[in-house]
A and B are shown apart, each in its own frame.
Chain A
Amino acid sequence: MTQILQYLVMPLVHIVVALAAILTFIALNGLILVYVERKVAGFIQRRPGPYEVGPQGLLQPLADALKLMAKQLVMPRGADSILFWAAPLLSFTPVAICLMPIPFGPNLTGWNVNLGILLVLAFSGLNVLALCLAGWSSNNKYSLLGAARAVAQSVAYEIPLLLSVLCIAFTTGSLNFADVTASQSHGLFSWNIFVQPLAFLIFFIAALAETNRAPFDLPEAESELTAGFHTEYSGMGFGLFFLAEYSYMIVVSAVGSVLFLGGWNGPFLSGHWWMLGKIYALILVMMWFRWTYPRVRFDQLLNICWKWLIPLSLMNLLGTALIINLVR
């Protein structure tokens, strides 16, 4: 009886609680990030941003969310209904799993798995399938083009992303986020960003592309493709894609913080506040990028990846492997 309790019920309860906490975190973050993004956009363009709903416009994201929920769900004629409605769900659900293995604090890990990095990379790959399905099932040329771009872009940028993550896995010798965090706990300069600056740069650029953030937001390029893969989605269909985009920003920022910025380790007073601070700092940088850089052309996008990022990350990986072998 106690054994059942120990090996079956307790882990199950643990996972359910962790999932619930993570979903709350995601939903809250969706609201906060929408607000922050619009404020950042406003301030960079020297205007106040949302201001009218609530004090300083704080209730604006709630109003937006209500609007999205109240809207009618419309499906275009000739669309594949199952795939059409499965796509937004498929885009959103893996996010919760991606955040499970990430150590937010010394004792704040949803689910401590040994292959955490692999888990995140595998499940975040599902997103591109969702975008592809959304574009394909919409029966709309813009959606289809957006989906084609999403797939080409994700496939290309997954390689440098993986290679730069691999560098960290080599130096730490583990695919467990907790181990990676622990290996960076010896002061500021043990953080991987100082050990592997190039890998961090490549990781960050590839992460921008993987989350379809500007300047790599080609799958939804408004000026050419209306809204790309989610052209035909209204109401919560669009809302889920939207939430998923912001959630993936959190995922890549969290992964980036753990892999390169020391996770919850701080130069002083280590704790989950450091982790949160790093996540939001990375997200702010992403927003800053979005309102600074114009969108790249599609061939430029692929050129950056195949001609620069992949060779550089390969060289970085080889160099890392060589040094590790020499040191050992």
Chain B
Amino acid sequence: MTTIRKTLNGLWSLIVGLKVTGKEFCKPWLTVHYPRQEVNNLNTYRGHIELVSLSDDPGKPKCVVCRRCEEICPSDCIRIEMHTPEESHLPDRPLMLISGVPLAGSVAKDPLCEGDKLLRVLDGFYLNYNMCSLCGLCVQNCPVSSLTFSQEVYLAGQKRSDFEFDLLQRLQEDAYKPIKSYH
């Protein structure tokens, strides 16, 4: 008896299956016909990371060169080059460990400060996008929100070096180009 009931149930499930696919058959397409149509949510696309510029200067990143992103990236794909500018008009002086006791053989200029903040200058922000897992840790952890995901959907290349970017250079180049549109 149970066998027959199971069989009937099974047969019924076959009809249910046909009903499901039959309904799907009649519904409109879900796929997008790419060269003729495009999806309208490209702004949700997570491309490679990119630097965010200051609101008053499109050529300068918000980055304060804290190097947190470089530190936190699990794939080790960010490399930052920076220097601390010096007070060029002051004479060189030896470094002091305690005031009044100079460190032998160490002579340098004083670092440049802005208020009580030590100035750091970003020279290069290198991203190796080949390794990036788009985990977003760098974007989340930047203290000044200087990183974001780009919406570069049509990125393509043939060599590894096509995916190694200097983000600082990109930012500066983009700043003087007309606004890019991906839509």
A288 to B17, CA, bound (A): 10
Which of A46, A292, A308 is close to B30, meaning CB atoms less than 8 Å apart?
Answer: A46
B1-40: CB near A (< 8 Å → 1, else 0) gives 0000001000000100110111011011111010000000
Give the shortest distance, in Å, between A215 (CB) and chain B (any CB).
10
Q: Which residue of A is nearest B18, CB measured?
A: A292
Give the shortest distance, in Å, between A132 (CB) and chain B (any CB).
30
A47 to B14, CA, bound (A): 23
Residue A318, interface by CB 8 Å? no
A46 to B28, CA, bound (A): 7
- Is A291's CB under 8 angstroms from B33's CB? no
- Is B30's CB under 8 angstroms from A47's CB? yes
Residue A194, interface by CB 8 Å? no
Which residue among A40, A43, A289, A292 has the maximum number of chain B CB atoms within 10 Å of its CB?
A: A292
B21 contact set on A, CB distance < 8 A: 44, 288, 291-292
- Is B24's CB under 8 angstroms from A44's CB? yes
- Is A48's CB under 8 angstroms from B22's CB? no
Give the shortest distance, in Å, between B23 (CB) and chain A (any CB).
10
Q: Which residue of A is nearest B27, CB measured?
A: A46
- Is B7's CB under 8 angstroms from A308's CB? yes
Residue A123, interface by CB 8 Å? no
Residue A45, interface by CB 8 Å? yes
Which of B22, B31, B33 is close to A288, meaning CB atoms less than 8 Å apart?
Answer: B22
A129 to B33, CA, bound (A): 44
B18 contact set on A, CB distance < 8 A: 288-289, 292
A43 to B17, CA, bound (A): 15
A40-B25, A46-B28, A308-B7 as given contacts; A51 in contact with B17, CB under 8 Å: no
A326 to B21, CA, bound (A): 44
- Is B17's CB under 8 angstroms from A45's CB? no
A308 contact set on B, CB distance < 8 A: 7
A292 contact set on B, CB distance < 8 A: 17-18, 20-21
Residue A7, interface by CB 8 Å? no
| 8 A Cβ contacts from B56-71 to A | none
A47 to B31, CA, bound (A): 5
Residue A293, interface by CB 8 Å? yes
Q: Which residue of A is nearest B36, CB measured?
A: A51
Give the shortest distance, in Å, between B90 (CB) and chain A (any CB).
70
A45 contact set on B, CB distance < 8 A: 24
Give the shortest distance, in Å, between B4 (CB) and chain A (any CB).
11
A288 contact set on B, CB distance < 8 A: 18, 21-22, 25
B14 contact set on A, CB distance < 8 A: 293
Which of B22, B27, B28, B33 is close to A51, meaning CB atoms less than 8 Å apart?
Answer: B33
Q: Which residue of B is nearest A291, CB measured?
A: B21
B22 contact set on A, CB distance < 8 A: 288
B27 contact set on A, CB distance < 8 A: 46
B29 contact set on A, CB distance < 8 A: 46-48
A43 contact set on B, CB distance < 8 A: 24-25
Q: Which residue of B is nearest A294, CB measured?
A: B17
B7 contact set on A, CB distance < 8 A: 308
Give the shortest distance, in Å, between B64 (CB) and chain A (any CB).
48
A40 to B33, CA, bound (A): 18
A40 contact set on B, CB distance < 8 A: 25
A274 to B24, CA, bound (A): 28
Q: Which residue of B is nearest A51, CB measured?
A: B33
| 8 A Cβ contacts from A30-56 to B | 40, 43-48, 51
A305 to B7, CA, bound (A): 14
A46 contact set on B, CB distance < 8 A: 24, 27-31
| 8 A Cβ contacts from A283-306 to B | 288-289, 291-293
Instruction: Give the B-binding residues of A (Cβ under 8 A).
Output: 40, 43-48, 51, 288-289, 291-293, 308
Instruction: Give the A-binding residues of B (Cβ under 8 A).
Output: 7, 14, 17-18, 20-22, 24-25, 27-31, 33
Residue pairs across A and B with Cβ atoms less than 8 A apart, 22 shown, are A40-B25, A43-B25, A44-B21, A44-B25, A45-B24, A46-B24, A46-B27, A46-B28, A46-B29, A46-B30, A46-B31, A47-B29, A48-B29, A51-B33, A288-B18, A288-B21, A291-B21, A292-B17, A292-B18, A292-B20, A292-B21, A293-B17
Q: Which 5 A-B residue pairs are closest in the complex by CB-CB distance?
A: A46-B30, A47-B31, A292-B21, A43-B25, A292-B17
| Contacts A40-B25, A48-B29, A292-B17 known; 16 new A-B pairs at CB < 8 A | A45-B24, A46-B24, A46-B29, A46-B30, A46-B31, A48-B31, A51-B33, A288-B18, A288-B25, A289-B18, A292-B18, A292-B20, A292-B21, A293-B14, A293-B17, A308-B7
